[in-house]
Structure 1
């Protein structure tokens, strides 16, 4: 799974969201209710639902993007629920891309692009490029 849609929220009722949206092919995880206040794993504070968008290889970013566009167009009505669900803290598409370093070992880096930025870029018909040097 190289490209994944993830929807998460601290107060998100993921079962209700899945039922209302009609999403298929998802994985869900519930937040841990009995967290110590100083938990080092912040992710346990969120419930989330995720769906694989692309099975393309890690070195095939173009195919991941193409698959993402097809997925988003096909599921646009189902995913429209994201905008009206105030309990969603994060809704992201994660592209997993493998880059070879000089030493031929693989490394990974994650960059979150805020919703406001992507909406503005989209409204201006601009693409988004991330360069890792």
Structure 2
């Protein structure tokens, strides 16, 4: 999954927050539950939602799919972001940084930025070292 929306908070009651939400997360976690990393526990509660299934080297497609996701679910996401206990709402775009590149420039359209901002969602870009394969 290359682009996800992550909602979380230390005092967030994630089950209550999601009980009236029409958008279904693909991952839910609760504060104190074990994390996949051995010996670690979650410091907050939250949920992840798939905003795009595009590959890490398909930024234009990620942006198009994420824009549709945000437009389609704007009201539900705005209510979810406004839920008491939500401390963070971030759309994270995962991007490939190809081996051998010395620079990489990314363009985020102002309409996309404004849409996320109106809902109350921050933007994050995570780059991953990838080979040509």
- TM-score normalised according to structure 2 size: 0.67
Hey, what does 2:29 align to over in structure 1?
29
Higher helix share: 1
CA RMSD of aligned residues (A): 3.1
Task: Kindly tell me the number of residue pairs found equivalent between the two proteins.
Answer: 106
> Which of 89, 92, 108 matches 1:91?
89
Answer with 4-13 or 21-30: which moved more: 21-30
Task: Give 1:18's aligned residue.
Answer: 18
8 A Cα contact 1:82 1:91, kept in partner: no
Match of 1:82 in 2: 80
Higher strand proportion (structure 1 or 2)? 2
| Alpha-carbon distance in 1 for matches of 2:89, 2:74 | 14
**CA positional deviation for 1:25:** 4.1
* 1:5 and 2:2 are equivalent in the alignment: no
CA distance in 2, matches of 1:83, 1:5: 11
Q: 1:45 to 1:21 in 2, by over 3 A?
A: same
Unaligned runs of 5+ in 2: 102-112, 128-133
